[in-house]
Structure formats: C-alpha cells, structure tokens
Structure 1
Amino acid sequence: MEQITLGNVSITRVKEYFGSVEITPDAFFPESSKEVWEAGKEWLAPDFLEPETNIVYSAIQTWLLHSEGKTILVDTGVGNHKERPYAPVWGHHESDFLANLARAGVQPEDVDIVINTHLHIDHVGWNTYLHDRQWVPTFPNATYLMPKDDFDFWNPENGHKSVFGRGNQNVFEDSVTPIVQAGQTQLWENSHQIDANLRLDLAPGHTPGSSVLTLTSGTDRAVFVGDMLHSPVQILEPDANSCFCESPAEARATRRKVLGWAADNNALVIPAHLGGHGATEVVREGSTFAIKGWAPFTPYTEQR
C-alpha cells in the first residue's frame, strides 16, 4: 500500500490485482498509434506493458480516502467468487482485498461512503460478498453513490445494448441489486457534492454515467478519473479511446476536458487502473498532453 496527503484529505492505495488483462494494445486501444507504443516500450514496461508478449498490464485497486471524518472508497474492483462467463479473467477471482483494506486500518463496517465511478465489472465487485450463498453488502454502514445514468443503462430490465457485449453479465444482479435491496444506494445526477473537499461530476463517454471525483483542498488538486484513462498512452494521445467506450466522441471530449483542467490546475490525475506510480501530473503539449511527473506516493504507515 502507498499513501499521500493532499490538503486535508489522506489517500491510500489498496490493491486487489496487478498483471495481464489478456489483451494487446491494438485491441485495447484500436485508435492509438503503433508508434507511440514502440517509442514508449522502455518506460511503459513493466508497469503498463509486457513487451515480450505485447500484452497490456493493468492494476485493479481501490482508493481509500479520509475526508472530514468520513471513510470513503473509490471503486471496489472485481470481488471474489463472482460468476463472469464472458469475462473469464475476472471469473471466480480470489484476492486478499479485504485483508489489504484491514492493513490500511479499515474494516468493512468502518466505511461511510462507497463511490462507484461507473458500473463496469471491475469497479463494483467488492460492493458485495458471498454470505450463506447470498450476495450481501460488503460495507454494511456505507452509502453507495452510483451515477443514475449508469444505473439505468446497466439495469437489465431496460434492455440497453453495449459495446461490451455480454461482458458485464451478472454484474448488476450480484453487485448492484443487493445494495438497492438493502436500502444503501444513493443515485445522483449531473453532480454531487460529498463534502467541502470532494465533488462528483458526470464525465460520460466510457459509459453513459461515467464520473470523475474532484478533490480540492487547500492548494492541492486531484481528479479521480475512473476509466477515462486505462493507460498513460491516452495522455499522449487523448483521442485514443479504449475498445470499451460506449460513446467514442463523448469519451474523447471528456478526456480532453478533464486533462486540460488537470494541466491548468496542477492537479494529480488518478485513474482506476494504472500500475506503477498509479497517478501522474500532466502538462499541455501543443494540442495534446505530456506526463509532467509521477505521483509521490510513500509506503503506507499506520496513522496514530
């Protein structure tokens, strides 16, 4: 685990998985150029690319925040024991995520707020866990904040078609519906102010309800961007979407808007899936962007 403090908010990185996601750059990012991957092999490996196999590497992680006395989780990863017939890399996953969270000083009952930046398979998994053959909320005292646009899009009753095909099958039923049934869901639209430091805003494109969490505390700024970025290559080529983006034009516009704000405000960009340093500062470079520096996370130490 690693941590950083920005203003009055502490951030701890709690990892669930790091490694291959069994997809090549040209398949994952079909709009990216081969040249940028070739030119970047030295610095992309080993955190973002395995050059010998040409497979993208990715992290599954949760960002643990402490702000104004609240314990907040940003995204909940893949989860254990889930049936994922069309996403086998995440099916019947087994990880020590809850033990890692405990090492960060947090038990499930301590969590006040869970933020799902969107409702993809690898962002809601630990919303629930298997107890007596039933899926129940992992965090019994938490309010789960979910964007309404994504809730409506992924609700099987609404019959929406996705570029993901059936890749998100079972996710709503085992990781969203039990939260609704427990009365712990809060759906929000457009924007939602959590406290004086944290605000959620819609950032559509990857999914209809994809959102970003902006941190503003003292002179520090950060933005948790979910799947707006899967790879630092998308900073260098902001028009390169992932193959999982539902609305390509919106995804490109959102990425440019958020990266522009981050560059202009010296804000740390914190995606959901970056390995290595996990987050970065960016600068404008002509009509695109460049990496200014990686996040100065330090090894986690218990807060006393």
Structure 2
Amino acid sequence: MTLQTSNANAAAAAVKPRRNWNFLFALTLLGLLVLLWIALAAATPNFATSNNIANLLRQGSMIAILALGQTFVIITAGIDLSVGAIVGFSTTVIAWLLQAGVPVWAAILLTLLMGLAIGLFHGFGIVRMGLPPFIITLASLTALRGIGLLITNGSTISITNAGFNEFSRNSFLGIPNLFWMVIVVAVPAYFFLHRSRWGRYLFAVGSNPEAARLSGVNVPRMIYLAYSLSALCAAFVGILLAARIGVGNATQAEGWELQAIASSVIGGTSLFGAVGSVQGPLIGAFILATINNGANLLNVNSFWQRIITGGLIIVIVYFDGLRRRGR
C-alpha cells in the first residue's frame, strides 16, 4: 500500500459516522414508526388489515429506494432535484422499449443504463463545468419532463406485458415484491456505504473536500459515483413504477424528489454533508408513507400531510444544526 493510499484511508476513517449513534437513531425512528402503527390501528380499524399493510409497504418502497440514492448525494453535501423526473422519464423509456418489442431483460438494462448516463452527466456538470448541484439537477428535472412529453406527444404508453405488470402486484412469502426490492438495494448499499473504503471516501468528501483531496481521495470520482448511484436508483424506481401502474408517463412521480429528500433528512442524513446511513432514510420513507396512509384513512385533508412533512424537516434540520454547533 502506498503512503498516499494509507493517508487517504486514515483521513476517510477519521470522518466516518459514529456507527453507535446511527444505530441508536435508527432504533428511535423504528420505535416512532411502531408507535404510529399502534396509534393508527387503534384510531381506525382499516389500518391493520392485510390489504392496507401491503399497500403501505408498496407506497413506501419506491420512495425508500429514491431516498437511499439521494442519501449518497447528500452525504457529499450535494443535492439531486432530478430524481422524480428521472423516475417519470424511466417509465416512458421502458414502456417505449417494451412496446417496440425489446425483451424485458434488455429493456430493464437499457433503462438502467439511461439512468446511469444521467448521473454521469450530473457529475460532469458539477466537476467539469463547475455548476452547483442545485442548478444542474434542477435543469435536468425540467429537461427530462419536457423530453418525455415530447417523445410521447403528451400522452401515455401502455405496457401490455403481463409478466412485467404482475411482478409489482404480487408477493413473496406474504410480503409485496416491491418491498423485497428495497432489501435487494439496501443490503449492498449498506456494505458499500458503511463497510467499504468508497463509502468512507464519500463521508470524507462531504466533511471537507479539500482535506480529502490532500489525503489522496479522488474527489471528482466520488462526485461522479454519488450522482450516478442516485440516478441509477431513480431509474430502478421508474421501472418498478411502470410495472405497478402499467403505463409510461413522463409526468409520473412529480414531487417525489422532495419526498426522497424529506425521507433522507428525517432518517438522520445531514444536509450539511458527512452524516448519514442506509437504514435511517429507509425508515424515514416508511414514516412518511404511514403518515400519508393514516391521514387518508382518517379523511384528513391532504394539505395537512404536506404541513406535517415540512414541520418534521424543519425540526430535524434545526436539531442537526444544534448538534453541529455543539461539537
């Protein structure tokens, strides 16, 4: 091992998150989620039914995967506003490919590659063009919606492949397939973020990019990696959404980028960078899904759901700021 690599590993390890704190915070979030379930089960008999629980898991699963991808970016002190548009655009791409007779496996692969290309473009805009993450991803949000509408002429593309459509509606061992997809994504993401040097480098970049660079971390490569993973997760969610609704529509998933950011922040990811986990955003996504599901069952005005979500974000970011100042 070279001295430069040794220094890089030492610097990255010095800024890695406190795993005990992450674990305790995740347990607290999990306890809050369980309390919400108990309260809603007592408040309305429809909440604890098997159909509603399955629907809740499906609702939360796609946002959970989006939030996980968003977390990689936020850890580097960046932001990705394009993930909702990537989801909608991906439903259009895979529906168009399937309608053109492309095999399902090839259509999925091509859609994922499209997502990867968008993520690399974001990395290029930030690293090579010097654009702020907010600007380049906001531009992609607008452009992808427009491109998708242009391709479809503002209409939807029906998906008639029965096997593809049925996957998202079926279950395995009594658990919806969409929730299993969260596990499929979360397990490798955990080992990548918390058990690999690449994950430690992401935290190092978010903590102090200049110090990380001087320690031997390839900062531009980490930026490319973070935004590529975020866009890849969004493209994957687009595939799952297309399978669930059976159509491709560029206007789908509008506002999901805000739900993904909210889930990540509620899960303990710091908008200042260098703090985050895999488990937190996943639980945060299901907390939001539970709030929305319970509000619908209780006939609470949907506007209150947004107010509650916004309030949660303000409180958590405020306490995160207090924690940083108290270091």
| TM score, norm. by length of structure 1 | 0.23
Which has the larger Rg?
Answer: 2
Instruction: Choose between structure 1 and 2 for higher RCO, CA contacts under 8 A separated by at least 6 residues.
Output: 2
With normalisation by structure 2, the TM-score equals: 0.22
